[in-house]
Each structure stands twice: as C-alpha cells, then as structure tokens.
Homo-oligomer: A and B are copies of this chain.
Amino acid sequence: MNSYHSEIHLRSHGFTDIIDITGEVVRAVAEAGINEGMINIFVPGSTGSVTTMEYEYGVIEDLRSAIERLIPSKMHYSHDRSWGDGNGFSHVRAALMKPGLCIPVVAGMPTLGTWQQIVFIDFDNKPRNRKIIVQILGE
C-alpha cells in the first residue's frame, strides 16, 4: 500500500460558492493508479469545506439558503471586531462543516452514488485562488 499526494487548484467566487470537483478527484485517483483504498479531500484553510451532494441547480440553491439561514452573514461576529476582514460568518460555517471528507476507492473509482458529486464550498467573502488536497492511500 502507498500514499499519493495530489492537489486541485481552482478559482472561486467566495460567498458560499459551491464547485463540483468530482472530475478532478476521479482523475487524481486514476493518475495514482490506485485500485483499492481511500481518499482524503481536504481544504488547507479555515473558510472552506468539502462535502457531497447531487450537483443540481435546485439543491445548490437550497443548500446555500439553508447555510445563510443557519449562520447568517449579516449578524454580528466577534471575529470581525478583532480582525476587520468581515468574514466571521465564513469562519463559523467552515468550523461547523469541517475542512474535509474521506471516500473509499473500489475498482479504481471513488464509491459515489449515481447522483452524488464531490463539492468544494468556499465560505469566504471574496474571490480566491484555492488549493484542495487529495491524499490517496491504497494499492
């Protein structure tokens, strides 16, 4: 069994931008030549997250609305008072949703359902260049 390191680089709009990264993850697994094992997809930073969902216009809108309702962007956040970059809500959202996810690899593919995509969510309050780590353990 070996460990393989790969990175996804992308440009995001911020403000709960939800980006489908399934193709990039599938490609990283193929390039590693792993047949059986596990992937860890991880955002190095404290204003982003990774999850899975049906990447469809309705669910994207629903998920963004739910996040805005649960952790409103217009509330008072202490982080903004101390740092002034106005992204306190981004930090809280990312801490609650966590920075990563693990997915099994079987027969050379992540074991996703038919209507299940891997997404990166950028909670920050400005466009950013982002790096996402895809760490693959397997054989």
How many copies of this kind of chain does the complex include? 3
Cβ of A58 under 8 Å from chain B: yes
Selected from B2, B5, B115, the residue in CB contact (under 8 A) with A46 is B115
Q: Which residues A82-103 have CB closer than 8 A to chain B? A: 82-83, 88, 91-92, 94-103
Per-residue B-contact encoding for A90-134, CB less than 8 Å = 1, 0 else: 011011111111111110000111011001000000000000010
Cβ of A31 under 8 Å from chain B: no
Per-residue B-contact encoding for A57-90, CB less than 8 Å = 1, 0 else: 1110111001100110000011111110000100
CB distance from A18 to the nearest CB of B (A): 9
Q: Which residues of the other chain, B, contact A105 by a CB distance below 8 angstroms?
A: 135
Contacts A44-B112, A62-B92 supplied; 19 other A-B pairs, CB < 8 Å: A1-B2, A1-B3, A3-B37, A37-B135, A38-B40, A42-B103, A42-B104, A46-B59, A52-B95, A53-B91, A58-B80, A58-B81, A62-B79, A63-B91, A66-B71, A66-B92, A99-B101, A100-B101, A105-B135
Which chain A residues have a beta carbon within 8 Å of chain B's beta carbons?
1-3, 5, 36-38, 40, 42-46, 51-54, 56-59, 61-63, 66-67, 70-71, 77-83, 88, 91-92, 94-106, 111-113, 115-116, 119, 133, 135, 137-139
